[in-house]
Amino acid sequence: EATGASNAYRWQYNGGTIATLSGLGAATFASSVSATSYQLSALNTAPASATATGITGQIRYTADYIYVCTATDTWKRTAITTW
């Protein structure tokens, strides 16, 4: 069942919320998401530093790096290269 109010939507199954989608397009899932591929609409802004504000599990990417927040306000990055 999908319900929505104020440009936000929530999907429920057996009385529990399984996904939400905000009016700004932010999606939250109660479990994992799998697909054969993912396509993001645009490059992100890199964190300003390794201790920039972040929530565990956030992922950002730029043309040169992928950034992963591994703990609150703790970012790690790896370079993206061609081969």
> Rounded to an integer, what is the distance from CA 5 to the centroid of its chain?
22
How many whole angstroms from its chain centre is CA 79?
19
Find residue 69's DSSP bridge partners: 75
Closest C-alpha among 52, 43, 83 to residue 70: 52
* Threshold 0.75, pTM exceeds: no
Torsional class of 7: left (φ above 0), alpha (ψ -120 to 50), beta (otherwise): left
Q: What is the C-alpha separation between 74 and 25, in angstroms, rounded?
A: 25
Q: What is the pLDDT along the chain (83 residues), one digit of tens a residue?
A: 555 556 678 888 888 888 888 877 778 888 888 888 888 778 889 999 999 999 998 999 999 999 999 999 999 999 999 98
Predicted confidence (pLDDT) per residue in 39-60, tens digit:
877 888 999 999 999 999 899 9
